[in-house]
């Protein structure tokens, strides 16, 4: 908080900035963000490790802090990097009122809202409050062993149950809402959100699901089975995976490719929709179709658009 002499106190807006500072391009983008926020009178938070990438003069423009508790009171977290960096930030904002704005400095960057060349404009729009908030569903996962929950975690994109031994398959039985669906061996299984449908699930052959759709995806990974099709199930459903004996090899659970833990033989992994969501800042008015075309470079030549108006419809 700050106050003028004799005047009422005014709240200082706060933005937390996270960046993958390993490349010169990222440091240049970070410098643009810091200067833009400072010029607007916004209090800018950064970790000391990342602030160290700035010049001495620009480093004086930020308030250095540790990540623990940094999101409290922050209106927005601005993230400069690829989807991995944005997923790191999602760990901080999940379940809070803080909004996440991603600027893509990676490759595809589906979670990002802006590209490198748009960074100053994007931050300026955040300062002006010219953005909308889009809430994305997340997943909760539990590992149950001998009737006891031994691990709990969560994911924005996906939870995958995979083989623990690279040289062998994992044997599993999958159920939905407590009813058995299929038993198979393979590399594993992915349970994904619509947000994650363009990530690992997409690579494994799953469908692309529009983010406005509330659903849960189930995608087998290299399954040795006659029926190994991706499934789109209700968001209220629970996906269960039981790890069966396969030469005594168990499995591992990955959450967003960032957090991992064991799923030994006999364990049951349960994945369901979480009550906590992630809030993303959206600047564009375009639809997801446009994002999909742009990110994947899809050919759209020959498209002439809706003809209803021309046909008098």
Give the active site residues.
Answer: 83
- Given 3-state DSSP classes, what are the helix, strand and coil percentages for the chain, each rounded to the nearest 5? 20, 40, 40
CB-count exposure of residue 59 (10 Å: 0-12, 13-18, 19+): middle
CB 217 within 8 A of CB 190: yes
Buried b (16+ CB within 10 A) or exposed e, 83-103: bebbbbbbbbbbebebbbbbb
What are the helix (H) ranges across 73-210?
83-93, 119-127, 200-203
Which residues on adjacent β-strands are paired with residue 218? 191, 231
Q: Please give the angle made by the CA atoms of 64, 110 and 301, to the nearest 5 degrees.
A: 145
Using a CB cutoff of 8 Å and minimum separation of 24, what contacts does 60-69 make?
61/34, 61/35, 61/37, 62/17, 62/34, 62/38, 67/92
Strands 99-104, 114-115: pairing is: parallel
Minimal CA–CA distance to 271: which of 88, 181, 134, 144? 144
């Amino acid at each position: 908080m700050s106050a003028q002499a004799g005047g009422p106190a005014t709240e200082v807006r706060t933005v937390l900035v996270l960046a993958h500072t390993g490349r010169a391009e990222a440091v240049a983008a970070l410098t643009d963000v810091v200067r833009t926020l400072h010029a607007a009178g916004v209090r800018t938070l950064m970790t000391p490790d990342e602030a160290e990438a700035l010049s001495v003069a620009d480093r004086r423009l930020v308030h250095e802090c540790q990540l623990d508790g940094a999101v409290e009171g922050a209106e927005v977290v601005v993230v400069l990097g690829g989807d991995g960096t944005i997923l790191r930030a999602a760990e901080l904002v999940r379940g809070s009122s803080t909004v996440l704005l991603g600027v893509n400095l990676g490759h595809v960057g589906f979670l990002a809202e802006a590209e490198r060349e748009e960074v100053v404009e994007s931050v300026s729009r955040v300062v002006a409050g010219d953005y909308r908030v889009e809430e994305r569903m997340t997943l909760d996962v539990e590992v149950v062993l001998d009737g006891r929950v031994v691990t709990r975690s969560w994911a924005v994109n996906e939870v995958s149950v995979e083989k623990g031994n690279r040289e062998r398959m994992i044997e599993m039985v999958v159920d939905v809402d407590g009813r058995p669906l299929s038993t198979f061996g393979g590399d594993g299984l992915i349970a994904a959100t619509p947000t994650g449908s363009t990530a690992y699930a997409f690579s494994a052959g799953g469908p692309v699901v529009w983010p406005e759709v509330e659903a849960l995806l189930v995608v087998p990974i290299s399954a040795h089975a006659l029926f190994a099709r991706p499934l789109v199930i209700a968001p209220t459903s629970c996906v269960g995976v039981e790890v069966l004996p396969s030469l005594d090899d168990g499995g591992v659970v990955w959450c967003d490719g960032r957090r991992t833990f064991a799923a030994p033989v006999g364990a049951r992994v349960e994945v369901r929709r979480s009550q906590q969501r992630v809030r993303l800042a959206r600047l564009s008015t375009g639809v997801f179709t446009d994002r999909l075309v742009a990110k994947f470079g899809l050919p759209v030549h020959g498209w002439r658009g809706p003809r209803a108006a021309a046909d008098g419809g």
